[in-house]
Amino acid sequence: MTPSSSIAAPGAAVPGHEAHDDHGHHPSYLTDGTTVKSWLLTVDHKRIGIMYMAWILLFFLVGGIFALLIRIELLTPGPTIMDAMTYNRVFTLHGVVMIFLFMIPAIPGIFGNFMLPLMLGAKDVAFPRLNLLSLYVYLAGAGFALWGMLNGGLDTGWTFYTPYSAHTTTTVAPVLFGAFIIGFSSILTGMNFIVTTHTMRAPGITWFKMPLMVWALYATSCIQVLATPVIGLLLLLVTAENLFSLGMFDVARGGDPVLFQHLFWFYSHPAVYIMVLPAFGVMSEVVSAFSRKNIFGYRAVAYSSVGIAFVGFFAWGHHMFVSGQSTFNAGVFGVLSMLVGVFTAIKVFNWVGTVYKGAVEFSTPFAYFCGFLFFTVFGGMTGIAVATVSLDVPWHDTYFVVAHFHFIMVGATIMAFLAALHYWFPKMFGKMYHEGWGLVSAALIILGFNATFIPQFLVGNAGMPRRYYEYPERFQALNVASTAGASLLAFGFIIIAIYLTYALIYGKRVDNPWNSKGYEWLTMSPPPTHNFIGPQPTYPEEPHFYVDPKKAQGEVSDV
Amino acid sequence: MSSAHVTPGSVPGPKLAAHFASLEVQKHAARLGMWLFLATEILLFAGLFACYAAYRFLFPEAWAASSRSLDLTMGTINTVVLITSSFTAAMAVHYAKEGKNKMVGHMNVLTLLMAMGFLVIKFFEYKHKFHIGTLPGRYYFYEGIQLPGAPLYFTVYFASTALHALHVVIGMTVLAFATVRAYRVGDFSANNYTQVELGSMYWHLVDLVWIFLFPMLYLV
């Protein structure tokens, strides 16, 4: 694994690249060691990020296939392709895989691992071996969960509500235990990121010179560390309950299922921000890079990440408006939930302020930014609506709520995930994809997503409950529309898979195709093993620092 | 003492990992990581405390009666044992900073013995409960307390004490590693004591959790 010129990447000479012109003499992290062992036992945060990517994309495929099965089943009012019990198992599997194996680890696991040290000018995360461990813990948990789901499956939905989850004869225990283990992985990653941010910043990078992606990951990590242990305990208790009938959450034995809901949502509501805060971070990077402007209101965007993380802990009760909670509690939780909207709005206005009068380059990541803006605002507005007790009571457990959380959690996160994938693809692999296909698939996905979930708002408002296997005739048209949208969405993902795989093999060699000023681009693409060759870069400017091309040469953008 | 052979160059000193700027930063990172980990541990138990609080509110009589059925003497002895073991764990850090490796080992062995004592006492408490039937959930068959909620009390009791006992075992493993290293390698010194310190921090947490569990369960 010693550096050797014989394994240098071809065509490495990039013009205008004086900062590290020893390109081609140093292997990138991809070529430094090519044995299987050098990957599986690596402590390099970049390789760990890539391994996360491989697994997470696989789980995304699994979850996506099950989403399509759900949509096909709901194509007709009666039974279509499966029986009711299979349907219960399929939507549970879709939920568990998408939440625990895709949405929560996706951006921190892949892009957080890869970018955080680069953005801080560090050689690695603070605890590299712990980082590798968190990957394997994640895989062990995934193994448990998938094993349970394939050997019998479970029909509780991903929320595992008691007392049903304590009594059902399906395979609940291994899945719960798997989710518990995955929680460990989440905690380890969060701890690692917090310590890295505190101790590994390069000289010159102060707290308010950190890229906004780092702020978002930092806030996310705080939630992971503070919320995950509680659900860890809860999952253990429910596992024990299911196996041994201890009565902890069982009414028949004096237990209180509402207590389960409190503890469950104490994690699972902040978990929404574990999914969406990294997405906000990605978008802050993307909007600045493609508007060629410094981010508008840097401090407001940074603080609002922390603000969302903070108030996110006081919003869990809005999941329990119809659980017999007092009206006063419901009102308090409603108002606290709406506060999240205030902090999100701060971000949205600042992003729009960044685009305003910027020199916008409408590339694939920016297309996803536009989709993201729509999904965040629309999903956020419906969030304010469902945080209102009087509106939530009729909407509770209908497709309206399904559509709402898919808009904000899935819509926003997928947009950011794809934007990150396209924006950092050249950084990670040093190759460029086909921009035209990128835009086509972005259009398909944004369109498909709207076509899938807008009908669900309508059908939910009309009263169709979630998780039901059959429905009355009158809901069919909207369900067909939703399924059609889902197939468009799937088609978009297939195109992305094809052209990115092609780009990985045959793509043009690039270094910084966006001329991005983000700190992570200060080293070569793909980066070398210890991130920097030669002296560490200096950081005289703020991140997202762009000179406005529309202004006179050398003049600094005024916002 | 072992400090006699601590001369620069002769002992494998603290190793600086390639990605850290300095030893100072490395130590800071390790300590911060441990503090964060301990915070997650406290939150893990906090979930149980929440369950305890909720059910105590729902079943005050059963809670009081069940609590009185616990063996206060054994609980008190265990509390004293554990607090004393925290002292010896702290002394191990003190000696590690002075490079007195043999004393670090001795102190850790004392801590481990007390930890074992704690588990033995706990074992007898458990055995007694298995015998008279104060067991969690559906296994409860004790005639003495027939109040709704009493089986639930023992669910909480067993869940929290078992989880705590598991932490005792983990803590013992951590301390055992530092003990072996103190005796066999003997490289703890003023600038290399992180392992002892972190192990002792973990042990203090185990102790601290018990200090909450004891009044909660035994004294009410």
Is position B194 within any domain? yes
Q: Which of A125, A131, A104 is CA-nearest to residue A417?
A: A104
Are the C-beta atoms of residues A48 and A135 closer than 8 Å to each other? yes
Closest Cβ–Cβ partner in A130, A200, A248 for B155: A248
- Rounded Cα distance, A300 and A280, in Å: 13
Chain B: residue nearest A267 by CA? B47
Closest Cβ–Cβ partner in B29, B47, B54 for A195: B29
Is position B197 within any domain? yes
The CA distance from B35 to the nearest CA of chain A, in Å, is: 10
* Contact status of B41 with chain A (Cβ, < 8 Å): yes
Q: Which residues of A touch B45 (CB under 8 A)?
A: 233
Are the C-beta atoms of residues A311 and A258 closer than 8 Å to each other? no
- Rounded Cα distance, A245 and A162, in Å: 12
CA dihedral over B55, B56, B60, B63, signed as positive or negative: positive
pLDDT score of A167: 86
Which CATH number characterizes residue B189's domain?
1.20.120.80
Domain span at B160? 23-219
The interface pTM score, or ipTM, of the predicted complex is 0.90
Cβ distance of A233 and B151 shorter than 8 Å: no
Is position B62 within any domain? yes
Chain B: residue nearest A226 by CA? B40
Is position B179 within any domain? yes
Q: List pLDDT tens digits, range A423-477.
A: 999 999 999 999 999 999 999 999 999 999 999 999 999 999 999 999 999 999 9
Contacts made by residues A445-448, CB under 8 angstroms, sequence distance 24+: A445/A371, A445/A414, A445/A418, A445/A488, A445/A489, A445/A492, A445/A493, A445/A496, A446/A367, A446/A368, A446/A370, A446/A371, A446/A374, A446/A415, A447/A485, A447/A488, A448/A485, A448/A486, A448/A487, A448/A488, A448/A489, A448/A490, A448/A491, A448/A492
* Contact status of B109 with chain A (Cβ, < 8 Å): no
Closest Cβ–Cβ partner in B19, B46, B136 for A230: B46
Are the C-beta atoms of residues A260 and A249 closer than 8 Å to each other? yes
- Rounded Cα distance, A407 and A412, in Å: 7
- Rounded Cα distance, B104 and B220, in Å: 37
Q: Which phi and psi (to 5°) does residue A358 adopt?
A: -85, 165
Q: Which of A167, A84, A187, A200 is CA-nearest to residue A530?
A: A200
Q: List pLDDT tens digits, range B86-121.
A: 999 999 999 999 999 999 999 999 999 999 999 999
pTM score? 0.91
Grouping H, G, I as helix, E, B as strand and the rest as coil, residue A512 is coil
The CA distance from A13 to the nearest CA of chain B, in Å, is: 28
Q: How many CB atoms lie within 10 A of CB B108?
A: 31
Instruction: Say which residues have a Cβ less than 8 Å from residue A410's Cβ, sequence separation at least 6.
Output: A98, A103, A449
Is position B149 within any domain? yes
Are the C-beta atoms of residues A27 and A528 closer than 8 Å to each other? yes
Q: Which amino acid is at A507?
A: G
User: What is chain A's pLDDT, residue by residue, as a tens digit (559 residues)?
Assistant: 333 333 334 333 343 344 444 445 678 999 888 899 999 999 999 999 999 999 999 999 999 999 999 999 999 999 999 999 999 999 999 999 999 999 999 999 999 999 999 999 999 999 999 999 999 999 999 999 999 988 888 999 999 998 899 888 888 999 999 999 999 999 999 999 999 999 999 999 999 999 999 999 999 999 999 999 999 999 999 999 989 988 899 888 889 999 999 999 999 999 999 999 999 999 999 999 999 999 999 999 999 999 999 999 999 999 999 998 889 999 999 999 999 999 999 999 999 999 998 999 999 999 999 999 999 999 999 999 999 999 999 999 999 999 999 999 999 999 999 999 999 999 999 999 999 999 999 999 999 999 999 999 999 999 999 999 999 999 999 999 999 999 999 999 999 999 999 999 999 999 999 999 999 999 999 999 989 988 888 888 888 888 655 554 444 444 4
Is position B4 within any domain? no
| Mean pLDDT of all residues belonging to chain B | 90
Closest Cβ–Cβ partner in B25, B29, B137 for A253: B137
Interface of A with B in 231-250 (CB under 8 A): 232-234, 237, 240, 244-248
Q: Which of A96, A281, A264 is CA-nearest to residue A182?
A: A96
Are the C-beta atoms of residues A419 and A347 closer than 8 Å to each other? no
Overall domain count for chain B = 1
- Cβ pairs A/B, distance under 8 A: 116
* Contact status of B16 with chain A (Cβ, < 8 Å): no
- Rounded Cα distance, A435 and A364, in Å: 7
Q: Which of A237, A249, A239, A195 is CA-nearest to residue A218?
A: A195
The CA distance from A197 to the nearest CA of chain B, in Å, is: 10
* Contact status of B137 with chain A (Cβ, < 8 Å): yes
Is position B52 within any domain? yes
Cβ distance of B47 and A192 shorter than 8 Å: no
Q: What angle do CA A415, A74, A379 make, to 5 degrees?
A: 30
Chain B: residue nearest A129 by CA? B17
Is position B17 within any domain? no
Closest Cβ–Cβ partner in A122, A191, A254 for B148: A254
Which position has the token pair 């043999």? B102
Q: Which residues of A touch B148 (CB under 8 A)?
A: 254
Closest Cβ–Cβ partner in B20, B32, B51 for A259: B51
* Contact status of A133 with chain B (Cβ, < 8 Å): no
Tokens of B35: 């503090």
